[in-house]
């Protein structure tokens, strides 16, 4: 799906500096297994919803012990903080 989106962006002649705004994703990596979970978002502000989905998806494997981020502002919102508390 991501490859299809890239092809569409190439054909649209959209400047590459705007590509990140066209395809928003949230990626979570399990340090133990190396598994990567990728969620497609409609907007950067949907990071909380993507994180909620990730937590629900991995709940069957056990409790999440630690979440680290790249310190982007979407991870510092009060909505995100309440999700983790």
Least trusted range by pLDDT, from 30-34, 59-63, 68-72, 75-79 = 68-72
More confident residue, 59 or 8: 59
Chain mean position to CA 10: 23
Q: Is the pLDDT of residue 20 over 70?
A: no
Residue 8 CA to residue 21 CA, distance in Å, equals: 14
Residue with tokens 């069957």: 60
pTM for the model: 0.66
């Amino acid at each position: 799906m991501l490859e299809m989106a890239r092809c569409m962006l190439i054909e649209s002649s959209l400047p590459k500096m705007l590509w990140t705004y066209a395809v928003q994703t949230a990626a979570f990596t399990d340090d133990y297994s190396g598994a990567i979970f990728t969620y497609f978002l409609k907007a950067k502000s949907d990071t909380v919803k993507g994180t909620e989905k990730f937590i629900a998806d991995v709940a069957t494997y056990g409790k999440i012990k630690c979440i680290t981020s790249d310190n982007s502002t979407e991870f510092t919102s009060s909505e995100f903080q309440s999700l983790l508390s």
